[in-house]
């Protein structure tokens, strides 16, 4: 072989060897870094493990959501980690991986006291994170023409809301929980749009789509995907949507005796509302007025399907509660005969018991170490207070009897709170809850509720803000 031929052969060998080395180098794909959250972190881990099965590693770059869509569509990043379905219709260079990664729902978060049910029709302005396609589409479909602000990220969105720069915000339900909004009793989550999240790849990686989808399906079948979500306490519990009314064989509900709301003879606004919501969808509707303690015990013993008039701070085990409230209570107060007793109660040094109606969890409002006496009625508590058998009474404002000549010293323990319905955390209980939320909203937004609940009670419950006339 001539020297020239040998040189050519060596070059060919080196070239083909370099190709082999390049082919063996692991491929790295670049995506926009997701904002940290239990769901986002889970999605990232799922995709990292799926791509690792294909010999591919992932890297992340920081960029706004709006920009990442453009960058993904032109191929400067590999795609989108998790977005809404049919995004490829608007961005034709993106291919949706068929496997659904997660389920979520967009909600409108606002203060019940300002806007009642807080629908899009009830708020004067709002904010949302720019680049979130479902939010943009919803506002366009609703023809929302009031002031809006596009936040850069969730943190800025939260600041706009808590600093009262906007009346309401749009975000997904997991982000709302991550920000701790569920701990604020006056905040309502108005459902706007349920959706599934999908992974997208630029068309230059089209060959990976079927392989990745197959890998994700195998991870799902093995339980690996559920394990990843469970490790971060992520539970997907989709709201039931009703194209047609459901049907229940029998429904039973109970409430404590409340004047004008739940009377012993079956009259009252609570029972009128439940008749309007549930009577058309059941063979038998049983409404039971009891002492509040008996109502709670009856519900926890599974004798009632629904417990009516529960505040957000009231703990009922193994239950789910309505998102829509039915009423507002009054401020909760501590009543004593002396200021010294109030001071000692707040310091946790009061020796004699504090009396309140049985069934409530008022202990969480006062220091640990105090003792309590549970009575059937608040009048029993005040009678024992006047006889110095207890040192204090926990009750709502304006409930003290007028028989005391000296009056009472008072201290507010908490402000008035919304009252909700509680259901068992079972499939049927969640169906009952979702039907109540849907039908109650329909009754209010249509104005039918005004034929059921007197105007002064609608104002007290803050539901009057959501009546049709209030939105004109």
Q: What is the CATH number of domain 103-196?
A: 3.40.190.10
* pLDDT score recorded for residue 472: 59
Give the Cα separation of 32 and 86 in Å (integer). 19
Q: Which secondary-structure segment (H or E) carries 423?
A: strand 418-424
Angle (CA) 418-419-425 rounded to 5° is 120
Give the Cα separation of 66 and 87 in Å (integer). 13
* pLDDT score recorded for residue 415: 95
Which structure tokens are listed for 273?
């509302």
- The DSSP secondary structure of 71-131, one letter per residue, reads HHHHTSS-EEEEE-TTGGGTSTTEEE-SS--EEEEEEEEEEHHHHTT--TTT-S-EEEETT
Average pLDDT over the chain reads: 90
Give the Cα separation of 96 and 79 in Å (integer). 9
- Give Cβ neighbours of residue 18 (< 8 Å, ≥ 6 apart): none
Backbone angles phi, psi at 415, to 5 degrees: -80, 170
- Reference 171, options 229, 127, 140; nearest CA is 127
pLDDT of residue 11 exceeding 90: no
β-strand pairing of 126-129 with 306-310: unpaired
* pLDDT score recorded for residue 87: 83
pLDDT grade for 471, boundaries at 50, 70 and 90 = low
Q: Which CATH number fits domain 248-329+417-471: 3.40.50.2000, 3.30.470.10, 3.40.190.10, 3.40.50.800?
A: 3.40.190.10
Give the Cα separation of 336 and 403 in Å (integer). 15
Give the Cα separation of 392 and 338 in Å (integer). 9
Which tens digit of pLDDT belongs to each residue from 109-162?
999 999 999 999 999 999 999 877 788 889 999 999 999 999 988 999 999 999
Helix/strand/coil for 391: coil
Which structure tokens are listed for 380?
């029993």
* pLDDT score recorded for residue 132: 78
DSSP 258: B
pLDDT of residue 4 exceeding 50: no
**If you search the block for the tokens 């109540």, which residue do you land on?**
436
Give the Cα separation of 431 and 423 in Å (integer). 9
Least confident of 10-19, 345-354, 460-469: 10-19
pLDDT grade for 23, boundaries at 50, 70 and 90 = very low
Mean pLDDT of 350-378: 92
* pLDDT score recorded for residue 460: 96
For the chain, give me the number of helices (H) and strands (E)? Answer: 15, 20
Fold of 3-98+203-231: D-Maltodextrin-Binding Protein; domain 2 (3.40.190)
Question: What is the percent of the chain where pLDDT is above 90?
Answer: 76
**Taking the domains of the chain in order of start, what are their residue ranges?**
3-98+203-231, 103-196, 248-329+417-471, 332-414
- Write the burial class of residue 285 (CB in 10 Å: 0-12 exposed, 13-18 middle, 19+ buried): buried
Least confident of 14-23, 45-54, 348-357: 14-23
Give the Cα separation of 73 and 200 in Å (integer). 10
Give the Cα separation of 341 and 347 in Å (integer). 10
pLDDT grade for 81, boundaries at 50, 70 and 90 = very high
Which tens digit of pLDDT belongs to each residue from 290-336?
999 999 999 999 999 999 999 998 889 999 999 999 999 999 999 99
Answer whether 105's CB lies under 8 Å from 173's CB.
yes
Helix/strand/coil for 152: coil
Q: Which CATH number fits domain 332-414: 3.90.1150.10, 3.20.20.70, 3.40.190.10, 3.30.2130.10?
A: 3.40.190.10
Residue 205 has a CB neighbour count (10 Å cut-off) of: 17
* pLDDT score recorded for residue 142: 92
- Write the burial class of residue 103 (CB in 10 Å: 0-12 exposed, 13-18 middle, 19+ buried): middle
Nearest-10 crossing angle of helices 208-222, 224-231: 70
Helix/strand/coil for 209: helix
- Reference 348, options 370, 333, 363; nearest CA is 370
The domains spanning 3-98+203-231 and 332-414 adopt the same CATH topology? yes
- Reference 467, options 199, 148, 122; nearest CA is 122
């Amino acid at each position: 072989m001539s020297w020239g031929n040998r040189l050519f052969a060596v070059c060919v060998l080196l070239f083909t060897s370099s190709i082999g080395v390049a082919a063996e180098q692991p491929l790295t794909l670049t995506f926009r870094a997701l904002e940290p959250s239990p769901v986002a972190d889970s999605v990232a881990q799922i995709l990292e493990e799926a791509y690792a099965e294909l010999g591919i590693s992932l890297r992340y770059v920081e960029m706004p959501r709006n920009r990442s869509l453009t960058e993904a569509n032109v191929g400067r990043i590999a795609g989108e980690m998790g977005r809404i379905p049919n995004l490829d219709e608007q961005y034709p260079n993106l291919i949706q991986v068929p496997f659904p990664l997660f389920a979520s729902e967009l909600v409108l978060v606002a203060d019940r006291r300002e806007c009642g049910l807080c629908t899009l029709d009830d708020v004067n302005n709002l904010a949302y994170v720019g680049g979130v396609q479902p939010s943009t589409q919803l506002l366009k479909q609703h023809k929302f023409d009031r002031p809006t602000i596009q936040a850069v990220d969730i943190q800025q969105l939260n600041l706009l809301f808590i600093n009262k720069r906007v009346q309401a915000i749009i975000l997904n339900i997991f982000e709302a929980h991550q920000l701790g909004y569920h701990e604020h009793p006056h905040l309502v989550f108005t459902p706007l749009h349920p959706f599934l999240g999908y992974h997208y790849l630029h068309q230059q990686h089209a060959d990976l789509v079927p392989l990745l989808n197959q890998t994700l399906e195998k991870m799902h079948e093995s339980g690996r995907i559920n394990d990843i979500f469970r490790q971060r306490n992520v539970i997907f519990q989709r709201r039931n949507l009703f194209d047609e009314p459901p049907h229940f064989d029998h429904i039973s509900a109970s409430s404590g005796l409340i004047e004008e709301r739940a009377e012993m003879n079956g009259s009252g606004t609570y029972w009128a509302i439940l008749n309007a919501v549930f009577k058309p969808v059941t063979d038998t509707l049983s409404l039971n007025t009891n002492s509040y303690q008996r109502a709670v015990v009856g519900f926890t013993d599974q004798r009632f399907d629904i417990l009516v008039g529960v505040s957000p701070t009231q703990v009922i085990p193994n239950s789910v509660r309505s998102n829509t409230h039915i009423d507002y209570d009054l401020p909760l107060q501590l009543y004593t005969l002396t200021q010294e007793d109030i001071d000692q109660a707040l310091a946790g040094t009061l020796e004699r018991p504090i009396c309140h109606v049985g069934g409530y969890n008022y202990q969480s409002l006062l220091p640990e170490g105090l003792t309590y006496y549970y009575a059937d009625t608040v009048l029993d508590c005040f009678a024992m207070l006047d006889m110095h058998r207890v040192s204090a009474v926990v009750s709502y404002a304006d409930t003290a009897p007028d028989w005391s000549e000296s009056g009472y010293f008072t201290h507010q323990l908490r402000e008035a709170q919304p009252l909700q319905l509680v259901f068992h955390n079972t499939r049927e209980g969640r169906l009952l809850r979702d039907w109540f939320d849907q039908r109650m909203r329909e009754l209010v937004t249509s104005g039918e509720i005004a034929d059921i609940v007197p105007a002064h009670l609608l104002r007290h419950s803050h539901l009057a803000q959501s009546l049709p006339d209030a939105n004109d």
